[in-house]
Amino acid sequence: MDFKDLGRELSNWGKWGPDDQIGTLNLVQPYHVAAAAREVRSGKVFQLSIPVGKDGPQSGVGGRNNPVHLMSMQHSDFDPHGLQVADDWIIMPLQSGTQWDALSHVGYDGKLYNGHSAEQVGTRAGARQLAVDAFTDKIAGRGVLLDIARLHGVDWLEGGTAITPADLEAAEAAQGVTVGEADFLLVRTGWRGRLLAQGRDGWMSTEPGLSIHCARWLYSRSVAAVGSDNWAIEVIPSETGETLPLHCILIRDMGMPLAEILDLDALAADCADDGVWSFLFVAPPLHISNAVGSPVTPIAIK
């Protein structure tokens, strides 16, 4: 399969106008958010991010290291009246942990989503188009968790396992839930659990993830965005032998933001316990100007 041909088939370029900056997040309308709020029944809240700190999953590949936390003040005397203050810094790649990929993050053939030139992302200026701050107020709606590891009766899927549309539909049937228009789809592979059990060695050299064939499925379901507990959403190595072909289709052609390195285990356990696999999902990126990605602490409320 030529991923570029599939990208042309599923392209959303021009669908929401020539200046569109948010892609499939346009699908989320106020009535979708209001309906998602009605998903809240028990009041249980789940945070879906991994800790931000030195023990993260990064190994330096691609220039990404784990965050460095520094104290700039340690309850030192702040003024003559006796006030003491602690303050700190964090130094980190924006995409070192739980993160959103903005629509400026990935392109090919010199083009980004909606035909914007890749030259719009400069070394010093950052993303002059399609930056992550375009959707700081857009990530709220109905979330649906599909637990593919649970479907197959394993703690985690093995690296290189491709999740197919048939897997997604089998999980829907097993869980009694349907992914619909403007939903935020979360896919559990168990790969986060593998990181906790075996450490970071080899964690980012492979992964289970979505098959390239899921692109058409996501398009047909009018999904707003997709997230997973792995580091790149898609299966690694890819089925086509190319680097991140599903990234190229989803971000560059369809205009779909991706949420990566989620912690879905506690939410999945609760969903399995009460049989409710949908919830209010809220996950705004940080309001960082001209950035191609952002840390995020997503929240699921049931």
Domain ranges of the chain: 3-53+94-301
Which two structure tokens, joined as six digits, stand for 33?
A: 């958010």
Is 80 exceeded by the pLDDT of residue 61? no
Is 90 exceeded by the pLDDT of residue 92? no
Q: Residue 195: its pLDDT value, please?
A: 86
Beta-ladder partners of 15? none
Which residue type sits at 272? A
Is 90 exceeded by the pLDDT of residue 57? no
* Mean pLDDT (whole number) for 242-249: 97
Is 70 exceeded by the pLDDT of residue 205? yes
Least confident of 171-180, 181-190, 204-213, 273-282: 204-213
Beta-ladder partners of 135? none
* Mean pLDDT (whole number) for 30-41: 98
In 3D, which of 215, 177, 149, 185 has the Cα closest to residue 281? 185
| Band (152; pLDDT cuts 50, 70, 90) | very high
Which two structure tokens, joined as six digits, stand for 62?
A: 């691609």
| Band (84; pLDDT cuts 50, 70, 90) | confident
Query: Into which CATH architecture does domain 3-53+94-301 fall?
Result: 3-Layer(bba) Sandwich (3.50)
| Band (124; pLDDT cuts 50, 70, 90) | confident
Is 90 exceeded by the pLDDT of residue 155? yes
Q: In what order do the strands lie in the sheet with 225-228?
A: 45-47, 299-301, 278-282, 140-147, 184-188, 225-228, 258-260, 99-101, 293-295
Three-state DSSP state, 194 = helix
Q: Residue 96: its pLDDT value, please?
A: 84
Q: Residue 185: its pLDDT value, please?
A: 99
Q: Are strands 278-282 and 45-47 parallel, antiparallel or unpaired?
A: unpaired
Contact criterion met (CB below 8 Å) for 179 and 277 = no
Average pLDDT of every residue of the chain:
94
Q: Residue 83: its pLDDT value, please?
A: 81
* Mean pLDDT (whole number) for 24-48: 98
In 3D, which of 115, 130, 191 has the Cα closest to residue 160? 191
Q: Where are the beta strands (DSSP E) in the chain?
A: 45-47, 68-77, 84-91, 99-101, 121-122, 126-127, 140-147, 162-163, 184-188, 209-210, 225-228, 258-260, 278-282, 293-295, 299-301
Cis peptide before 237 (omega within 30 of 0): yes
Q: Residue 77: its pLDDT value, please?
A: 64
In 3D, which of 191, 100, 96 has the Cα closest to residue 148? 191
CA distance 208 to 231: 10
What is the gyration radius of the CA atoms in the chain, in angstroms?
A: 19
pTM of this prediction exceeds 0.85: yes
